[in-house]
Amino acid sequence: MTVTPKISVSDGNLVVHGKKILSGVPDNIVLTPGSGAGLVAGAFVGATASNSKSLHVFPMGVLDGLRFMCCFRFKLWWMTQRMGTCGRDIPLETQFMLIESKDEEDTPTIYTVLLPLLEGQFRAVLQGNDKNEIEICIESGDNAVETSQGLHLVYMHAGTNPFEVINQSVKAVEKHLQTFLHREKKRLPSFLDWFGWCTWDAFYTDVTAEGVEQGLKSLSEGGTPPRFLIIDDGWQQIESKPKDADCVVQEGAQFATRLIGIKENGKFQKNGQNNEQISGLKHIVDEQSNIMMSNMSTCGML
């Protein structure tokens, strides 16, 4: 087993900064140290199998008694967070994980990030099982695309500052994959310095044309006219199938209704001149752009 200065496997335990994070680490788990300046605190986790398949589930070790926060995908397009203290608390499709470990009050708290990665034609995610094990699940999505190993399936990084650990993790993965840029290297669009309004927190999916108009009016009268507007979910055409009252709703799933058309629904339809129906969100644009123009030099974006 390969050993790094900060992360190592010893006697079946995954040790980070001298603190045991996982126990019962299988022999087929492979640790590869990170490379480059500032990346000695990181390592890549991989695994090997005896046969080739399009989907593998590799137990990584037992997590028990350590607080963690993770982000997982519970819909194709949506992620949310969850907290826990053991492997069985880790949901399927976990895309990010931050583990907190502290032995005694006079020792520093260590934060360890786990980031599942893409490797070749395979993608990796984390999940837990009833044995409190963290599992690495890799799949190609194609029965004809198989592998027997992955050596860079999860990136781990550790340190005493959780924000810096996350930052350095992304930089390490940027260098490894070379498919994206860290946000420090990206040019920010100018409108980020503008004040705008998104309707989600005010209305969720119950947004209406009248509500949007009242919200813009209220902000303007309060001395903070928005320069752009985002009308979030709730304006599209969606299915009207009644929900099962006995169905257990997972985090945020109550908002995940099936989309059936990219056109405004009845709440945003309004008759124009000669009783003709105006398509799209044109009537809101026409009415509100005049209000915005009176409060600022640049027309707000809708």
2 within some domain: no
Three-state SS across 192-257?
A: HHCCEEECHHHHHHHCCHHHHHHHHHHHHHCCCCCCEEECCCCCEEECCCCCCCCCCCCCCHHHCC
Residues 93 and 225 both lie in one domain: no
**What local confidence, expressed as pLDDT, does residue 103 receive?**
75
219 within some domain: yes
Residues 166 and 194 both lie in one domain: no
Tokens 């398949």 belong to 53
Among 156, 184, 212, identify where a domain stops.
184
Among 145, 161, 184, identify where a domain stops.
184
299 within some domain: no
1 within some domain: no
In whole angstroms, what is the distance from residue 32 CA to residue 295 CA?
58
**Is residue 157 within 8 Å of residue 168, measured between CB atoms?**
yes
Q: Report how far apart the first and last C-alpha atoms of the chain are (Å, whole number).
A: 56
Question: How many domains does the chain fold into?
Answer: 2
In whole angstroms, what is the distance from residue 75 CA to residue 295 CA?
40
301 within some domain: no
Residues 116 and 229 both lie in one domain: no
* Closest to 227 measured CA to CA, from 282, 287, 297: 297
For the chain, which ranges sit under pLDDT 70?
A: 1-5, 35-41, 239-259, 261-262, 270-281, 288, 290-302
Residues 117 and 21 both lie in one domain: yes
**What local confidence, expressed as pLDDT, does residue 95 receive?**
97
**What local confidence, expressed as pLDDT, does residue 33 receive?**
87
**Residues 6+ positions from 119 with CB-CB distance below 8 Å:** 138, 150, 151, 152, 153
In whole angstroms, what is the distance from residue 170 CA to residue 42 CA?
11
Residues 149 and 206 both lie in one domain: no
Residues 121 and 23 both lie in one domain: yes
Helix ranges (H only) for 28-185 are 162-177
Residues 274 and 134 both lie in one domain: no
Residues 172 and 216 both lie in one domain: no
**Domain span including residue 248:** 190-293
273 within some domain: yes
Residues 119 and 201 both lie in one domain: no
**Is residue 126 within 8 Å of residue 90, measured between CB atoms?**
yes
Three-class secondary structure of residue 280 per DSSP:
coil
Residues 131 and 206 both lie in one domain: no
pTM (two decimals): 0.75
